Amino acid sequence: MTTVVTLSLTDFTQGDAIQREAFETALLTGLKDCGFIILADHGVPVDLLDRAYGLAADVFALPEEEKRKSAGGMRGHTPFGTEHAKGSSLPDLKEFWQVGRDLPDDAPLDPVFPPNLWPQALPAFQPVFSELFAALEDTGRVLLQALAPGLGLERHHFDRLIEGGPSLLRVLHYPPVADDVAPGAVRAAAHEDINFITLLVAARGAGLELLDRHGHWLPVETPPGNLIVDSGDMLARLTNGLIPATTHRVVNPAGPNVDRYSMPFFLHPRNEVSLAPIPSCRGDGPQWPVMTAGEYLRERLGEIGMAG
């Protein structure tokens, strides 16, 4: 059975040359062999995570008419039962709030990635989640710096690719599962993430499982305060399958039927970045049609019911 390794980011950011190299090797190996790692000592303040989870419970407890005031596709509130996994005919049993990059007032408008929408009834929400977005992006950038040398890339190669990209912080709420739920419906059906890497703040509530390379479903659990990191489709394409995108799901509760909250941060490259394989991974040629990150993202958003 696969084991999800736990790494300390301080081994890379504060360690000596031997510790840094060991972290780089373990990160690459973990993503190649398992697709997930658990990250401790990541630098995102624990009190910020606690405040964010408190506000997550508050925002989803708002009346539906209040949440609808901030519904806007890729920003703000997405109602329960809107999104479904690729290839699934059943909607996931979740609602969520999406936070993107804070853009300057003179930034060109993008119909897919509009400005953020904030809950007017909860003024503390905006500063906390803007801070959390920035902190998780910083941590993700450092992880990609640790990953680059093992792929034959200059350490800061990924910095240029993600700078100003459409990364997304999603605040998820899985309500208690209703008695009359459709047969086969689950909190989040099996899927792969779209982006380079995902940094998931350890959820308040169990249920996350990954599909390991041997075809077994493995629960992914870690104490509050850690991050769970997984590899997505865009990294798989960039590495020509060396680092696969890992299938995962959120199953319905086997114990107490209670609310579950989680906060994945999806780290994306800029839309114009090519997903052609990097030189060290070209092999006999690309496994998938070459397209830009923006083209691929729009294609995948359509497949999960989130386009337009």
β-strands 188-191, 248-250: how paired? antiparallel
Neighbouring CB atoms inside 10 A of 100's CB total 20
Cβ neighbours of residue 112 closer than 8 Å, sequence gap 6 or more: 73, 74, 166, 298, 301, 307, 308
Residue at token pair 């359509």: 302
pLDDT digits (tens, 9 = 90+) for 23-42: 999 999 999 999 999 999 99
Q: In Å, how far are 76, 111, 168 from 171, measured between CA atoms?
A: 10, 21, 10
Q: Give the alpha-carbon dihedral of 265, 122, 53, 23, to 10 degrees.
A: 30
Cα separation, 66 vs 53, whole angstroms? 19
Could you give the CA distance from residue 142 to residue 9 in angstroms, rounded to a whole number? 9
Which domains are present in the chain?
6-303 (2.60.120.330)
**pLDDT string in tens for the chain (308-residue length):** 568 999 999 999 999 999 999 999 999 999 999 999 999 999 999 999 999 999 999 999 999 999 999 987 789 999 998 888 888 889 999 999 999 998 777 766 666 678 899 999 999 999 999 999 999 999 999 999 999 999 999 999 999 999 999 999 999 999 999 999 999 999 999 999 999 999 998 877 789 999 998 899 999 988 888 999 999 999 999 999 999 999 999 999 988 999 999 999 999 999 999 999 999 999 999 999 999 999 999 999 888 776 55
Structure pTM?
0.95
> 17-33 vs 125-147: helix axis angle to the nearest 10?
100
14-45: b (≥16 Cβ within 10 Å) or e: eeeeeebbebbebbbebbeebbbbbbeebebe
* Residue 23 and residue 7 in contact, taking contact as beta carbons nearer than 8 Å: yes
Question: Residue 6 forms beta bridges with which residues?
Answer: 38
